[in-house]
Amino acid sequence: MSNNVIIFDTTLRDGEQSPGCAMSLAQKKRMAKALASLGVDVIEAGFAAASPDDFNAVASIARDIKGPTICALARCNDHDIREAGRALQEAEKKRIHVFIATSPLHREHKLKMTKEQVVTKAVAAVTLAKSFTADVEFSCEDALRTEKDFLAQVVEAAIAAGATTVNIPDTVGYTTPTEMFDTIHFLKTTVPNIKQAIISTHCHNDLGLAVANSLAAVEAGARQVECTLNGIGERAGNCALEEVVMAIKTRANHYGLDTGIRTEQILPSSRLLSAITGSVVPRNKAIIGDNAFAHASGIHQHGMLSHPETYEIMRPKSIGRIDTSLVLGKHSGRHALVDKIKELGFDTASEDIERIFADFKALADRKKHITDADIEALVFGQSSTGPWQLAQMQVTSGSGDTIASAAVVLVGPNGSEHREAATGDGPVDAAFKAIERAIGMEVHLEGLSVNSISEGIDAQGEAQVRVRYAGQNFHGRGTSTDIVAASVSAFMDVINRISRQMAKAS
Ligand SMILES: CC(=O)SCCNC(=O)CCNC(=O)[C@H](O)C(C)(C)COP(=O)(O)OP(=O)(O)OC[C@H]1O[C@@H](n2cnc3c(N)ncnc32)[C@H](O)[C@@H]1OP(=O)(O)O
Ligand SMILES: CC(C)C(=O)C(=O)O
């Protein structure tokens, strides 16, 4: 038996069945291109008979995407199969995927067919599909709730009619890994012609078991896994491509198998899909979530600094992520803090570390995100937050005769609240004036610049403010996706630096 697992990607078909994940033709083509460079073996491009748009998407992908086999889904009826054949006409490598439900529930209540009628339909469908392409896949929808002997009968008939892949879907995500293993093992040992076809699996995630069930099928002898990027799909989704592929790769010592996926392209492809569908991947999602390679606790961070394999079973680069991140926060320890201080280019004497560490812990208890600027301030013996905090700000501005104004609420050193408003030459000027009034401090603005430090419509702006106060120059920095907010944050930074210096001097 081959040790290669065929990756059948159905992001564009079952994935698109996720509520809210509909894609335009251009988006599907962009995604298909990304899937081809990711190295999937089969792209299920759509259900050609579903609508003119679906037909065009399949036809266009079939014409333009080279490399993977392009597949179209069809019910077991002549019209669907002919539409699939027509849409796939120009494909370099094409597959028609026909399916019919086999479980008693679906037979009786949905299809209103007897077992014999289901078998007859399946055989006729495979036979017709074979007239368009040699590569025909047959799926027994709801296979895992089908009587085992009937399942074996349908699979045998479909193979005899020419199916080259037989797919055993857990359509409703009902099965367990052991049941899945037993079912595939049963088919392998019961169906006389099973060796003439590749056994495939297609698992849904209703109980969160889609990946586990797919891997169980593979262990029992399935050599094709149907999956989607980010695990999108009908209801709770499908087996996640990134998870099943990385499980096979990372546990090659267990499975002894491989896939043709270029795993370094997993994250870029996943991000493209999120951008196209607008569906955000949860931070803790395996492989592709923002936290998947982030370490926040001191003991883990120390381990990671000693040897990455202590707490990481895969390297971030293997899925296309630049690096691991050690997130500094309330759970961090001295090792991670010292590492960050060194990374920022400081050579801090060991006697200073205890003081910096104590200040760091106090700050981390108050602040969720510790930034490089915070660490810098701690090294310099300052707390970057306070004594003044901007609690609220509202600015108004417009074109023509509109007068820009700003209202601010600041919280002062003793927790006292200071409210002020001002008008100015634009919203930034108005906000600076309102802040000065609220604090009772007047500074001379020497310069303000705002630069983009990331790309795109939601780029982060970094503002730098230079002011003169009591004969000295001070400098502040702030970032935000909003340029007024970035400027105000830089101004608050400079005001706080001045206030801290004055407090030290008094
Ligand atoms: C488990 C899966 O993910 S299966 C794939 C799901 N994908 C889709 O459904 C694609 C989008 N679907 C559609 O656009 C539409 O459902 C269409 C165009 C395919 C069909 O629309 P309609 O003809 O109006 O039928 P509708 O969807 O309401 O009902 C399904 C019909 O197909 C029949 N049917 C369902 N599965 C199969 C099958 N595998 N083989 C043959 N007939 C089937 C049903 O019995 C029902 O028949 P009936 O109209 O004689 O009662
Ligand atoms: C068409 C089949 C493979 C399917 O999507 C399912 O059973 O979930």
**How many angstroms is it from 202 CA to the middle of ligand 2?**
7
80 alpha carbon, closest ligand: 1
Are the C-beta atoms of 279 and 23 separated by less than 8 Å?
no
According to DSSP, residue 238 is labeled: B
Q: Mean pLDDT over all residues of the chain?
A: 94
Amino acid (1-letter code) at residue 459: A
What lies within 8 Å, CB to CB, of 501 at 6+ separation is 472, 474
Predicted ipTM? 0.98
Residue 382 in this model has a pLDDT that exceeds 60: no
pLDDT digits (tens, 9 = 90+) for 1-37: 889 999 999 999 999 999 999 999 999 999 999 999 9
Report residue 460's pLDDT band, with 50, 70 and 90 as the boundaries: low
Whether 107 lines ligand 1, by a CB cut-off of 6 Å, is no
* Closest ligand 2 atom to 141 CA: 7
Q: Per mean pLDDT, which of 33-47, 392-406, 443-457 is the most reliable?
A: 33-47
* Closest ligand 1 atom to 141 CA: 1
Residue 265 in this model has a pLDDT that exceeds 80: yes
- Nearest-angstrom CA–CA distance, 35 and 222: 22
**How many angstroms is it from 13 CA to the middle of ligand 2?**
10
User: Is position 204 annotated in a ligand binding site?
Assistant: yes
Q: What number is the average pLDDT over the span 150-170?
A: 98
Q: What number is the average pLDDT over the span 226-235?
A: 98
Q: Which two tokens stand for residue 91?
A: 């494909």
User: Is position 414 annotated in a ligand binding site?
Assistant: no
Q: For the chain, how many helices (H) and strands (E)? A: 17, 16
- pLDDT (0 to 100) of residue 384: 55
**How many angstroms is it from 146 CA to the middle of ligand 1?**
19
- Nearest-angstrom CA–CA distance, 208 and 431: 50
**How many angstroms is it from 8 CA to the middle of ligand 1?**
22
For residue 320, which phi and psi values (nearest 5 degrees)?
95, 15
Q: Which two tokens stand for residue 112?
A: 């209103």
User: Is position 323 annotated in a ligand binding site?
Assistant: no
- pLDDT (0 to 100) of residue 348: 74
Whether 14 lines ligand 1, by a CB cut-off of 6 Å, is yes
- pLDDT (0 to 100) of residue 113: 98
Question: CA torsion sign, 363 to 369 to 374 to 375?
Answer: positive
For residue 426, which phi and psi values (nearest 5 degrees)?
100, 165
Whole-structure pTM value: 0.81
Nearest CA to ligand 2 atom 8: 171
Select 389-505's CATH number: 3.30.160.270, 3.90.420.10, 3.40.50.280, 3.40.605.10.
Answer: 3.30.160.270
- pLDDT (0 to 100) of residue 250: 98
- Nearest-angstrom CA–CA distance, 478 and 40: 44
Of the two residues 352 and 256, the one the predictor is more confident about is 256
Going by C-alpha positions, the residue among 468, 469, 451, 470 that lies closest to residue 460 is 451
201 alpha carbon, closest ligand: 2
Lowest mean pLDDT: which of 9-13, 107-111, 321-325?
321-325
Q: Render 156-168 in DSSP notation, one character per residue.
A: HHHHHHT-SEEEE
CATH of domain 6-277: 3.20.20.70
- pLDDT (0 to 100) of residue 503: 80
With pLDDT > 70 as the criterion, what percentage of the chain qualifies?
Answer: 97
Q: What number is the average pLDDT over the span 249-253?
A: 98
Ligand 2 proximal residues by C-beta, below 6 Å: 14, 73, 99, 139, 141, 167, 169, 171, 202, 204
Residue 454 in this model has a pLDDT that exceeds 60: no
Residue extents of the structural domains in the chain: 6-277, 294-379, 389-505
Report residue 374's pLDDT band, with 50, 70 and 90 as the boundaries: confident
Q: Which two tokens stand for residue 490?
A: 């830089």
Report residue 434's pLDDT band, with 50, 70 and 90 as the boundaries: very high
**How many angstroms is it from 117 CA to the middle of ligand 2?**
20
- Nearest-angstrom CA–CA distance, 345 and 343: 5
Whether 203 lines ligand 1, by a CB cut-off of 6 Å, is no
pLDDT digits (tens, 9 = 90+) for 64-86: 999 999 999 999 999 999 999 99
User: Is position 335 annotated in a ligand binding site?
Assistant: no
Whether 55 lines ligand 1, by a CB cut-off of 6 Å, is no
